[in-house]
Structure 1
């Protein structure tokens, strides 16, 4: 019975780690061009991010540039999807960070509850904006999230074998 309890606990911890990130915010990469970031911004706002604060006269409108607005939108999407790592892929135009990007009177939500988490979201889009006609090099889907999950799954399997022996 003790082995079954340990195995259950191990699987529960692995499942929790597989869907969440250790960091708190999703932001747009600063080395990406405005065209790619505008696609990401449009996608995030259309897919459920709270983009009201980046509208004119909103608390996060300034600075008025694509990079800042993109970061706010992808973070809102990421938070509303419970900090699921897959909700910060956006075809490689964004990255999860541990330092708070808030500033200039704009506060980025740091938790799903602060971002008014959406209900009924089964899984966030894995690839973000469409890149079918994009030659900017941002269309490659990073596999880091998949690789991390496979490592966790393999570790759990090995641990289960060890515990059952």
Structure 2
């Protein structure tokens, strides 16, 4: 193997290792730049589906701050975690996005790991206001497909591996 190919391979492997070593912590949060009416529809959908919205009820740990955005973010994150951290469970017509920044604050702890839905919860639907890769961004943008954390890193790692094999040939 030529010296320049070996350097490229080493660089690609270092990049792949860095991507693979990133934290798997992921939260789904509502977009702050959207009007409360859009976020309220998302909140209603999430709470009416698989989300656990008990913590955002009055007097519960995550009721404060009592804002549509805060309650929306808690609900969509619960929905996302209960959907096994499926990236498509954080689309909500473009009103929510994946984040690697923990939104927990003021004694309210947002779940950060996939948790199964409660036995009496309906399965996460894949249409309407809820998560779907084909939903339109409510701000008038293009179709919204969220970055998929671990899946995206696996895809990049596979691409780097294929490129390394090509360079070694």
TM-score normalised by structure 2 residue count = 0.63
Gaps in structure 1 of 5+ consecutive residues = 1-16, 131-135
Aligned pair count reads 134
**Counterpart for residue 125 of structure 1:** 126
Alpha-carbon offset, residue 142 of structure 1: 1.0
1:31 to 2:33 alignment: yes
Cα deviation code 1:1-40 (max 9, x no counterpart): xxxxxxxxxxxxxxxx9xxx95510000110110000000
Task: State the SS of the aligned residue for 2:88.
Answer: helix
CA distance in 2, matches of 1:117, 1:41: 19
Map 1:11-160 onto structure 2 (within 5 A).
22-112=24-114, 116-118=115-117, 125=126, 128-129=129-130, 137=139, 141-143=143-145, 152=155, 155=159
RMSD of the TM alignment (CA)?
3.8
CA distance in 2, matches of 1:41, 1:95: 14
Alpha-carbon offset, residue 118 of structure 1: 2.0
CA contact (8 A) 1:87 1:126 kept: no
CA contact (8 A) 1:89 1:127 kept: no
CA contact (8 A) 2:87 2:146 kept: no
Task: State the SS of the aligned residue for 2:29.
Answer: strand
CA distance in 1, matches of 2:75, 2:104: 13
Cα deviation code 1:51-88 (max 9, x no counterpart): 00001111100000100000000000000011110010
Q: Which runs of 4+ in 1 moved over 4 A?
A: 119-124
User: Cα gap change, 1:138/1:90 in structure 2, threshold over 3 Å: closer, same or farther?
Assistant: farther
